[in-house]
């Protein structure tokens, strides 16, 4: 089948590669001409503009956009202006599902099918395949099924869920038509909200393990911090790189995120070079907003989102206010800077992570 791809960053380019490996024809465009040329060298047809791209497609056309969410609206309008009724426009980026709902309604009036495809898999997708959460009209989703099936991981070596038999259902192959326009990105949004929560749980637990030797370090604490009452119970210089590797084997918390954590700690046990300022590109915020809108409690997901804000010092003023109040009512001084040991130096002092 033929597919056009706009946006040849890591995700877009690798989706094209995966499709071409399985015999699909790809026509590609990116504002970066070198990215286009790289894929032309691998067998794609290149285009130097959106109209040029569309002119090279067979009818009914299928155009997949893999561009940053902030550019998707503009690119979608440019593409839709040169598409015709019966063509399909697919947004595979991390867009807000509300934008899909709006855009789908506008493009429907011109007879263009708009599909939103939440795409998970990151830089590993070329080999592993991408998990696809699809929203859009039934007929268009069905027409594009060969594309989804190729991009998705397939059944792979994952053990079949007890009770399932016969032909593999789409969800067992790694793609699912979740519902009408917007449903794909809604499911991806919640997926990412969960991603934040799992990541935060692993990070917090590993940090507690990292501090299980607090009894050994107790003497270094400032008088302004409550003393550790029972230092004898916190004498464990635990190697978190080894524990995360251990948990990958047979443990209840084994997961791909843990695999990646173990790999990161194995490469760099003290995580040197990472300041711990964690970005968020919107999905976690939209998840919490949707939960508030429909009145569903998501305390873990919300806490993990707020943790990211705090990681970027966005709690600084709140903490200054806390210190100010403490100073006001009790004359309590702040902890002098320098009294808080960096995790990395704790590790080297206690001989961990070597």
Whole-angstrom Cα distance, residue 221 to residue 58?
70
Closest by CA position to 115, among listed 168, 41, 63, 38: 63
**Count of residues near ligand 6PG by CB under 6 A:** 11
Of 78, 188, 245, 342, which is the active-site residue?
A: 188
CA atoms within 13 A on the CB side of 315: 11
**Nearest distance from C-beta of residue 20 to ligand 6PG, angstroms:** 21
Indicate the residue among 188 and 347 with the shorter CB distance to ligand 6PG: 188
The CB-nearest residue to ligand 6PG is: 120
Please report whether residue 279 would count as binding ligand 6PG according to CB under 6 A: yes
Indicate the residue among 56 and 191 with the shorter CB distance to ligand 6PG: 191
**C-beta of residue 269 within 8 angstroms of C-beta of residue 353:** yes
Catalytic residue check, 188: yes
Q: Which of 14, 95, 181, 192 binds ligand 6PG (CB under 6 A)?
A: 192
Indicate the residue among 121 and 353 with the shorter CB distance to ligand 6PG: 121
Q: Binding marks (x or -) toward ligand 6PG, 117..136, rule CB under 6 A? A: ---xxx--------------
Closest by CA position to 210, among listed 333, 342, 119: 342
Whole-angstrom Cα distance, residue 101 to residue 84?
20
**Nearest distance from C-beta of residue 309 to ligand 6PG, angstroms:** 12
List strand residue ranges (DSSP E) for the chain, in order. 2-6, 25-29, 45-46, 62-65, 88-91, 113-120, 131-135, 175-179
**Nearest distance from C-beta of residue 131 to ligand 6PG, angstroms:** 7
**C-beta of residue 47 within 8 angstroms of C-beta of residue 25:** no
Q: Which of 280, 315, 334, 349 binds ligand 6PG (CB under 6 A)?
A: 280
Q: Cα separations (Å) of 279 from 66, 283, 306?
A: 20, 11, 11
Indicate the residue among 27 and 131 with the shorter CB distance to ligand 6PG: 131
Catalytic residue check, 242: no
Whole-angstrom Cα distance, residue 294 to residue 69?
24
Of 109, 127, 195, 334, which is the active-site residue?
A: 195
> Residue 27 forms beta bridges with which residues?
4, 45
**Nearest distance from C-beta of residue 155 to ligand 6PG, angstroms:** 20
**C-beta of residue 149 within 8 angstroms of C-beta of residue 139:** no
**What are residue 104's phi and psi, to 5 degrees?**
-60, -40
Q: Which of 19, 26, 61, 94 binds ligand 6PG (CB under 6 A)?
A: 94
Indicate the residue among 161 and 279 with the shorter CB distance to ligand 6PG: 279
Q: Which residues are catalytic?
A: 188, 195
Chain residues in the site for ligand 6PG (CB under 6 A): 94, 120-122, 192, 195, 279-281, 283-284
């Amino acid at each position: 089948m033929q597919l056009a791809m706009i946006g040849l960053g890591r995700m877009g380019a690798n989706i094209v590669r995966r499709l071409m490996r399985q015999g699909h024809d790809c026509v590609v465009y990116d504002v970066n001409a070198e990215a286009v040329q790289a894929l032309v060298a691998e067998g794609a047809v290149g285009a130097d503009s959106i109209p040029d791209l569309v002119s090279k497609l067979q009818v009914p056309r299928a155009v997949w956009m893999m561009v940053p969410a902030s550019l998707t609206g503009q690119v979608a309008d440019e593409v839709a202006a040169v598409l015709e009724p019966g063509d399909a426009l697919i947004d595979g980026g991390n867009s807000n599902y509300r934008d899909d709902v709006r855009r789908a309604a506008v493009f429907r009036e011109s007879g263009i099918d708009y599909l939103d495809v939440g795409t998970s898999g990151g830089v590993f997708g070329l080999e592993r395949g991408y998990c696809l959460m699809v929203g859009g009209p039934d007929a268009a989703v069905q027409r594009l099924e060969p594309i989804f099936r190729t991009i998705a991981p397939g059944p792979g070596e994952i053990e079949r869920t007890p009770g399932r038999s016969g032909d593999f259902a789409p969800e067992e192959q790694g793609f699912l038509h979740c519902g009408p326009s917007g449903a794909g990105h809604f499911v991806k949004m919640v997926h990412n909200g969960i991603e934040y929560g799992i990541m935060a749980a692993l990070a917090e637990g590993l940090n507690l393990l990292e501090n299980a030797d607090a009894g050994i370090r107790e003497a270094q604490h400032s008088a302004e911090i409550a003393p550790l009452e029972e230092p004898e119970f916190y004498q464990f210089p635990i190697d978190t790189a080894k524990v995360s590797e251990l948990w990958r084997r047979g443990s209840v918390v084994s997961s791909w995120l843990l695999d990646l954590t173990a790999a990161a700690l194995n490469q760099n046990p003290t995580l040197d070079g990472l300041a711990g300022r964690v970005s968020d590109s919107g999905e976690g915020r939209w998840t919490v907003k949707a939960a508030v809108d429909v009145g569903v409690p998501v305390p873990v997901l919300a806490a993990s989102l707020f943790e990211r804000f705090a990681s970027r010092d966005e709690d600084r003023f709140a903490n200054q206010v806390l210190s100010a109040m403490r100073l006001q009512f009790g004359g309590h001084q702040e902890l002098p800077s320098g009294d808080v040991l960096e995790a990395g130096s704790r590790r080297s002092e206690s001989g961990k992570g070597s």
